[in-house]
């Protein structure tokens, strides 16, 4: 027929043994490797990396970003000034704040409500980075299992006073330094925003 081009099919590999050899040799070498590891670990010659969780908790580095917490001032008040910077920076829009007028003039505002919908959170740490007063941090806790619906919205009280963090965390910052950075610090000391260790619990 005019206009039809016949394309030659590639020759079929008749050698089934050669065809299957690659698959079987790979499976066998994998099983041999697994068996060797099983043997050295069952005989105690090599330590297993498997953790018996939850009896044996995992330990992560100090940079681990787990469940959030709110820090406190030296006088025990929640450090947050309800500036909304964390809520604005949050890509998941899961921080909800209701600001209130503080009774003293030294502190302009404070959060009447501070809630994080943890099921929407992506643990990016932007809230921590955005906060100018070291009021919110992501901590070392990673266990979040639960069944009740309300458990997934972390309230201000929960964030500021969790038993796992021994009754709350005092901020490493002091009042007069909260707006200064390394490049602009008239006090000349270095206890500043860029020097806020995540895991310094008191």
Greatest C-alpha distance within the chain: 95
Stretch that binds ligand SF4, among 1-9, 115-123, 152-160, 185-193 (CB under 6 A): 115-123
152 binds ligand SF4 (CB under 6 A): no
CA angle, 103 then 105 then 108, to 5°: 85
Among 73, 107, 115, 130, the residue binding ligand SF4 under the rule CB under 6 A is: 130
133 binds ligand SF4 (CB under 6 A): yes
193 binds ligand SF4 (CB under 6 A): no
Stretch that binds ligand SF4, among 5-13, 83-91, 142-150, 165-173 (CB under 6 A): 83-91
Q: What is the DSSP letter of 132?
A: T
Q: What is the DSSP letter of 149?
A: G
List b or e across 140-173, with b for residues whose CB sees 16 or more CB atoms inside 10 angstroms: beeeeeeeeeeeeebebebbbbbeebeebbebbb
Stretch that binds ligand SF4, among 52-60, 120-128, 140-148, 160-168 (CB under 6 A): 120-128
Cα 24 from chain centroid?
42
Q: Would you tell me which residues interact with ligand SF4 (CB under 6 A)?
A: 80-86, 89-92, 94-95, 97, 116, 121-127, 130-131, 133, 135-136
């Amino acid at each position: 027929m005019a206009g039809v081009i016949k394309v030659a099919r590639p020759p079929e590999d008749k050698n089934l043994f050669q065809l299957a050899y690659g698959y079987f040799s790979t499976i066998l070498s994998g099983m041999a490797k697994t068996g060797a590891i099983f043997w050295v670990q069952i005989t105690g010659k090599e330590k297993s990396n498997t953790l018996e969780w939850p009896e044996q908790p995992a330990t992560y580095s100090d940079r681990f970003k787990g469940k959030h917490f709110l820090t406190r001032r030296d006088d025990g008040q929640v450090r947050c000034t309800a500036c909304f910077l964390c809520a604005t920076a949050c890509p998941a829009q899961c921080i909800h704040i209701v600001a209130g007028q503080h009774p003293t003039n030294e502190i302009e505002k404070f959060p009447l409500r501070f809630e994080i919908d943890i099921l929407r959170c992506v643990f990016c740490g932007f809230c921590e980075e955005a906060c100018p007063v070291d009021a919110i941090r992501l901590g070392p806790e990673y266990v979040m299992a639960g069944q009740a619906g309300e458990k997934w919205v972390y309230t201000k009280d929960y964030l500021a006073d969790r038993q796992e963090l021994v009754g709350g965390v005092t901020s490493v910052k002091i009042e007069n330094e909260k707006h200064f950075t390394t490049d602009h610090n008239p006090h000349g000391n270095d206890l500043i925003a860029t020097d806020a260790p995540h895991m310094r619990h008191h």
